[in-house]
Amino acid sequence: MSSSRKGRRSKRFLRLGSRLLEDAYTQDGTLLLRAGARITTLTELARLSQPDVRFGKNLAAEIPIDMENEAVLDAEAMDPDPEVTEFLKGVERAREVKHESISNVESMFAAVEAGEVVDLELARRTVSRLLEELLGDPRALVSLTQLKNADAYTYTHSVHVCVLAIHLALHTDFRDQVEEIGLGALLHDIGKIRVPLHILNKQGPLTPDEMKQMKLHPVFGVEQLKKSGETRPTVLSCVLHHHEKVSGRGYPDGKRGRHISPFAMMTSIADIYDALTTDRPYRAAMDPKEAILMMAKQMAEDLHEGLLQSFVSLVGYYPVGSEVQLSNGFRARVLRHYASKPNEPRVVLTADAEGRPIPGLPVIEMSKECGVSIVGFVRGEGGFSVARDLAGGVRKAA
């Protein structure tokens, strides 16, 4: 072995992919990693970084690293995982589609407020564009439903509910009705225009009279849609019955069980999830895992069992795009989740325990980590941003 290949480094230089030139041992002589092996998991990285670890026959404290391999890692860092690059491109495109959709909803609501009818053609175009995006790259657009914008709650919420309801419809038996479900979900709260603002924005509990007015918004919404020329029952049921509950405790009709259309139920599930995971004037947002568990447990008797299960499997505990904190102090973004392993998604590492960006944005499977787990979500300043820190990581790597 030539000396130029070999370098001894302090443990803080170790990273995923580093290759040791000598065997690594614990203090009691247990072999941790053989010479020549690369560090492939965060668990190995964390263990090898412990102060008791020694290397080679002489049991030296400094780590013998293959410097040629380090140079390869530096080169790889210029060229992040294609999955991450692809995801980032998708997010950028989806971000434009989402912003355009929000501004379309805003103009539809403004027109109705001004006494005009709903621009159904614009609504149809908006749904088609979102649907096209979801059929192409569902991860990007769905991940953006985690990005909340407190300034324009109603419009952003309408687009999120539309995206999530379409996403659910595409993965259940309702693909044929997906455009109608999307349209109903996009306009599900259009009737709120006739509810006074002081009721909509009230921070405390509503009085019985205020509640009565609030509960009329699905009825107002359907009236508005009919007046605008929309008569399809699928669309109208999403609007009229998105607050009905299987237990019969919903409104406006107190419908029960199978008397509530699956289209309304899909809108309802998407509506509840997005509302729970968004900051409101009267309460802070739940994190996605808390929200999904609450829906799966406390709300199960109010929601259609099969559709709820499909939604839980689709969105998961750690939705694609969410930023998570790992038990070793690292931060990561979720790239993919698995219905069979809800606590062990595939993630891309974004920052180490000191908060430094990780060049090359390594992708790891949490299921291969036996010593590192996800301990919570990261709530960034100004809310969630999928692309910002990942893009920063790519730039730094390049």
Residues of the shown chain interacting with Fe ion in the complex, contacts defined by CB under 5 A: 189
184 CB contacts (<8 Å, ≥6 apart)?
A: 165, 234, 235, 236, 237, 238, 239, 263, 264, 267
* 268 versus 350: smaller Cβ distance to Fe ion: 268
Q: By three-state DSSP, how is residue 156 classified?
A: helix
149 CB contacts (<8 Å, ≥6 apart)?
A: 102, 156, 383
Can you tell me the distance from the alpha carbon of 324 to that of 330, in angstroms, rounded to the nearest whole number? 9
Beta carbon of residue 233, minimum distance to Fe ion (angstroms, whole number)? 19
Give the residue from 351, 340, 264 showing the smallest Cα distance to 42: 351
* 189 versus 369: smaller Cβ distance to Fe ion: 189
Residue 348 contacts residue 333 (beta carbons within 8 Å)? yes
* 193 versus 394: smaller Cβ distance to Fe ion: 193
Maximum distance among all Cα pairs of the chain, rounded to whole angstroms: 85
Write the DSSP string, 231-258: --HHHHHHHHTTT--TTS--SSS---GG
Beta carbon of residue 246, minimum distance to Fe ion (angstroms, whole number)? 17
* 189 versus 389: smaller Cβ distance to Fe ion: 189
Give the residue from 235, 128, 232, 130 showing the smallest Cα distance to 181: 235
Beta carbon of residue 161, minimum distance to Fe ion (angstroms, whole number)? 9
Can you tell me the distance from the alpha carbon of 68 to that of 90, in angstroms, rounded to the nearest whole number? 34
Which neighbouring-strand residues pair with 348? Answer: 333, 363
* 94 versus 235: smaller Cβ distance to Fe ion: 235
Q: By three-state DSSP, how is residue 355 classified?
A: coil
* 139 versus 157: smaller Cβ distance to Fe ion: 157
Beta carbon of residue 275, minimum distance to Fe ion (angstroms, whole number)? 9
Beta carbon of residue 250, minimum distance to Fe ion (angstroms, whole number)? 11
* 133 versus 189: smaller Cβ distance to Fe ion: 189
Which DSSP state fits 357? B
* 189 versus 323: smaller Cβ distance to Fe ion: 189
Beta carbon of residue 221, minimum distance to Fe ion (angstroms, whole number)? 8
Q: How many CB atoms lie within 10 A of CB 322?
A: 25
Lookup: tokens for 3 = 């000396």
* 67 versus 275: smaller Cβ distance to Fe ion: 275
Write the DSSP string, 13-59: G--TT-BBSS-EE-TT--EEE-TTPBP-SHHHHHHHTSTT-EETTTT
Beta carbon of residue 238, minimum distance to Fe ion (angstroms, whole number)? 11
Can you tell me the distance from the alpha carbon of 41 to that of 369, in angstroms, rounded to the nearest whole number? 6
Beta carbon of residue 268, minimum distance to Fe ion (angstroms, whole number)? 9
Beta carbon of residue 217, minimum distance to Fe ion (angstroms, whole number)? 6
Closest-by-Cβ residue to Fe ion is 189
Beta carbon of residue 166, minimum distance to Fe ion (angstroms, whole number)? 18
Q: How many CB atoms lie within 10 A of CB 66?
A: 20
* 271 versus 344: smaller Cβ distance to Fe ion: 271
